[in-house]
Amino acid sequence: MAAIWETLLSNLALVSILVVAWDLLSDRTAHFSRSTQSVFLGLIMGVGAAISMAIAEPMHGFLFDLRMPLLAASAFFGGLPAIVVAASAALICRLYLGGPGVAVGVTGILIASVIGLACYWLVRSRQKTMTHIFGFGVAVAFGAYFGLLVLPEGARVVLFPRAVLPLTSLAFVSALMIGTLLHRMQRRRELATANLIYRAMVRELPDCLNVKDLDGRFIVANPATASLMRAGSAEELIGKTDFDFYPTELAQRFRQDEIDMLQSGEVQRLEQPALFPDGSQGWLTSVKAPFTDETGRVVGIITYNRDISDQKRVAQLKNEFISTVSHELRTPLTSIRGSLGLIAAGVAGELPAKAGNLVKIAHTNSERLVLLINDILDMEKIESGKVAFELRPMAVRPIVEQAIAASSNYMPERKVRLLLVDDAPRAGATIDPDRLHQVLSNLLSNAIKFSSVGDTVTVRLARRSGGVLRISVVDRGAGIPEAFRARVFGKFEQADASSTRGKGGTGLGLSIAKAIIEKLGGAIAFETQEGHGTAFHIDLPEASGQAVASATPSSQPHSDERNRVLICEDDADISGMIAALLDADGFSSDVAPDIASAKMLLQTRDYVALTLDIRLAGESGITLFRDIRKSSALPDIPVIVISAVADEAKRALNGSAVGIIDWLEKPVDPERLHAALGKIARRADDRRSRVLHVEDDESVLAVMSAGLGPDVSVTFAKTLKDAQFLAAESQFDLVILDVGLPDGSGLDLLTDLPAETAVIVFSAAELDQRLGASVKAVMTKTKASELDVAKVIKSFLPAAGVGRFSIPIGGE
C-alpha cells in the first residue's frame, strides 16, 4: 500500500512540476508563434511522460504511469506539433528502457496520440470548456482500457479482471486533473493578455471607457474620464464613485441607471443633460453594460461616458438653420413659383412663343427646387421626431382613391393610366391619412415617371396572412438595376444617372416613404425584374372592422363646400377632362352618363350649373333641357352645351335657348370653357368676396392677389398690429394668415376674429397642432402651389344662387 501512495504522490508532484514549468516557459515565449509554443508544450509533456515511465512502480501486478494522460493532453492543447515532439520523446524513452513490454508500451503511446489528436480536432474551432475537459478525461480512460486489450493473452487473462477498474479510473482522474490545470492556465494567460490590451485601450482611447465594481467604484479608469471629472489622473478615480466628483443629484441619477442596467441585464444607452464638476451645463451620452467573468457571472459594470455638449450645440445650430431655411427659402420660392405659374397660365397676357418657352423652363425648374427643399425639410423633421402623427383606425380605400386622383394629372404627356384593384373590400388600418397619402403620391409619381407612354400603373389592395393589409403600386417600366437595389431606400440615392437624372427627383422620396411607413407600424419593400417593372408593397396591420366603423365619422374628409356643377356626358374620357377643368376653376362636379341619372342627381343635390351633351347615351339632351326649364325650382340654371352637334342643337332650340351660357363643340376648347365658367361664378356670387391677407412679404401678396382673380377683394396687412386694426374695423369672409410677422405671431389674430370668419393659415412654418374651429386649412409655403391655395380659399368663400330642382320624372 505504501508503494502505491508513493507512486501516486510522486506522479502528483511530477504533474505540478510540469505545469509550473509550462507556465513559466509559456510566459517567456508569449511573443513566439503558436506552433513554436506548441513544440515547447510537447517537449515538456514528452519529458514528463519519460520521467513517469522511469519511476513507475508495480501496482496489483501492473505498472501505472502518466504517459497516456500527458501525451493525450499535449495533443489536445497543442495539436500536431506538440504530439509529434511528445510522442517522439516517449517512444525514445520506452525503447531505451526495453523489457518484454516494449510492444505494449509503444502501442499505448500511439493510442494516446490518436485520442489526443481526435479530441483536438473535435474542438479546435471552439473555446474549450469544462465539458470538453470531462469528455477528454473519458476518452483517455477508454484509451487505457484499449491498452489492456493489446496485452499478450496470458497476461491479459491474469491482469485484466483486477487492472481494468483502477487503471481506467486513474487514467480518467489524471487526464481530468492535467486537462483542468492546463485549461485554467490557458484561460489565465488569455485573460491576462486581454486585460493588458484592455487597459492599454482604456488609457489610449480619447473617450471615457471605464470599469466599475457592482457598488459603482472605479476598477479601471480612463484619463479622459479623469479630465471630465476634474481629477488629477485616472489613478485617483480607482476605488471612488461618481458621488466623489459629481453633484449629488446627478450622481444619484447615474447610479440609478447602473442599478437599472444590472437588474435588466441589458445594455443601456442614454443621452441626458449634466452639470459638470466645474459648474458648467452640458450633455453626456452614456452606455452602461454588464461586465462578466469567464463563467458568465456579472462582476462589474462597463461604463462609457462622452461629453456631447458640442454636438448638441451644433445640432441646435442646425435646427436653427433649418428653421431659417424653412422661412427664408420657402417664402421667396412661393413668390417665384407662383409668379411663373401665373405668367405661364396667361394671367399677365399672352407671351411670345420664345418667352413662353423660357417661362415654362423656369417654372419647371422652380418646381424641382421646391421639391428638393420640401424633401430635405421633411427628412430632417422625421429623423428628429418632430413630425406629429395623428393615428386613427379608418378605411384605407378612400385614401388610396384620393392619392390616385391627385396623381392623375402628374406628367399628363405620358398618358399613363392609373388602375385601382380592390381585393380587400372594407379594409381598414390605424393610420395618419395625410402621411399615407404622401407615401402613395410618392410611389405613384415614381411609377408614372418610369413607365412607358400609354402604360398602366396598378394600385392593388390585398389581405395577407397574419392580419396584414398590403397596398401595392405596380408599374411595367424598366425595373430597378440589380446594383442599385440595396440602396433604393437610401438618402439622395439615384440609379444610373443617364436614366434617372433626366426624369428629375431628389433621391429622398423613397427614404421619406420608408421612414413614414415605419412610424405607422408597417413595412415597405419592393419586387422588381429588369425589363418587366417594379412593385412596391406597403404592409400595414389591418384594423378590425368594428374599430374602422367607429372611426368613420371623424375620419371622413370635410364636405366639399365649393360650387357644384353637373356634367351630363356619357363619354368617360370627356367627362373626366371637363371635371379636371372645373376643378382647376374652383368647382366640384358630379357626372351623369344618362338622362335618368341626371334627373336623379338634380333632385337630390344642389348645382349652380350643368354641362349638357345633346346626344346623351342615345337619348335627347334637348328633352332634358326643356324639362329643366319647366321645373319650378330655379328654371334659369346656367347651362353650357358641350356637344359634337352644338350648332344643330342651337338651331333646334331656336329662341327657347334661355340661360345657355355658351355652345361648345367637341373637342372642348379649354379657354372657352374657362370663360363660360367665369360667367357662372359671377352669377353664382352676387357680391365680391372680401379677403384679408396677413403677410409681410410683398411678392407673396402680389402672387396671391393675382391668383384669386378679380372676383375677390383682397385687403393686405403686413404686421399683426395692422391686421388687428383691420379686423376690428371691417368684416371679412376669409383671412389668409402668415405666422411669422415682424411684430409677433399671426396666430394671435385668431382671438380677434369673429367665429364665423374662415381662416387659412399659409406660412413657411409647418404647424401640426389643431388651431381651432375657425382655421379651415393649414398650408405650407412651397408644399402648396398658388393654385392649391387659391382653390382652397375659394371653396370657403360664400356662394349664392344655389338651389335644388324639382323635375317631372315622367317627362322625357
| Res 207: pLDDT | 61
Give the total residue count for the chain. Answer: 812
Asked whether residue 83 falls in the same domain as residue 26, the answer is yes
Asked whether residue 624 falls in the same domain as residue 665, the answer is yes
**CATH code: domain of residue 711:** 3.40.50.2300
Domain hosting 509: range is 392-555
**Dist CA 667 CA 574 (whole Å):** 8
DSSP 125: T
| Res 807: pLDDT | 42
Residue from 192, 159, 183, 202 nearest 64 by CA? 159
Is residue 60 within 8 Å of 162, Cβ to Cβ? yes
| Res 811: pLDDT | 38
Strand ranges across the sheet with 712-717 = 712-717, 689-694, 734-737, 758-763, 775-780
Asked whether residue 369 falls in the same domain as residue 439, the answer is no
- Would the pLDDT of 377 be above 80? no
Most confident of 145-154, 687-696, 753-762: 753-762
Asked whether residue 342 falls in the same domain as residue 212, the answer is no
Burial class (CB in 10 A: 0-12, 13-18, 19+), 759: buried
Asked if the structure places residue 802 within a domain, the reply is no
| Res 600: pLDDT | 74
Asked whether residue 210 falls in the same domain as residue 154, the answer is no
Strand pairing report for 615-616 and 619-620 = antiparallel
Asked whether residue 125 falls in the same domain as residue 217, the answer is no
**Dist CA 209 CA 177 (whole Å):** 39
Number of domains in the chain: 6
Question: What is the maximum span of the chain, computed from C-alpha positions, in angstroms?
Answer: 143
260-271 pLDDT per residue, tens: 888 888 888 888
Give every CB contact of residue 121 below 8 A, 6+ residues apart in sequence. none
Asked if the structure places residue 501 within a domain, the reply is yes
Asked whether residue 185 falls in the same domain as residue 214, the answer is no
Asked if the structure places residue 352 within a domain, the reply is yes
| Res 551: pLDDT | 46
Q: Which residue has the higher pLDDT, 809 or 674?
A: 674
| Res 535: pLDDT | 93
Q: How far apart are the first and last CA of the chain?
A: 130
Asked whether residue 490 falls in the same domain as residue 592, the answer is no
Asked whether residue 279 falls in the same domain as residue 344, the answer is no
Mean pLDDT of 39-48: 88
| Res 583: pLDDT | 81
Mean of all residue pLDDT scores within the chain: 78
Extract the C-alpha cell encoding 716. 393686405
Asked whether residue 497 falls in the same domain as residue 642, the answer is no
Domain boundary among 555, 584, 602: 555
pLDDT band at 151 (very low <50, low <70, confident <90, very high): low
Give every CB contact of residue 218 below 8 A, 6+ residues apart in sequence. 210, 211, 212, 237, 238, 239, 240, 241
Least confident of 70-84, 518-532, 768-782: 768-782
Residue from 574, 27, 523, 136 nearest 592 by CA? 574
**CATH code: domain of residue 7:** 1.10.1760.20
Domain boundary among 528, 555, 582: 555
Q: Is residue 567 within a helix (H) or strand (E), and if so which, with residue range?
A: strand 564-568
| Res 541: pLDDT | 92
Residue from 443, 313, 321, 315 nearest 376 by CA? 321
Most confident of 324-333, 486-495, 539-548: 539-548
Backbone angles phi, psi at 428, to 5 degrees: -140, 160
**CATH code: domain of residue 472:** 3.30.565.10
Asked whether residue 11 falls in the same domain as residue 153, the answer is yes
Q: Is residue 178 within a helix (H) or strand (E), and if so which, with residue range?
A: helix 153-204
**CATH code: domain of residue 263:** 3.30.450.20
Query: What are the C-alpha distances in Å from 211 to residues 214, 335, 377?
Result: 10, 60, 42
Asked whether residue 361 falls in the same domain as residue 422, the answer is no
**Dist CA 783 CA 778 (whole Å):** 11
Asked if the structure places residue 743 within a domain, the reply is yes
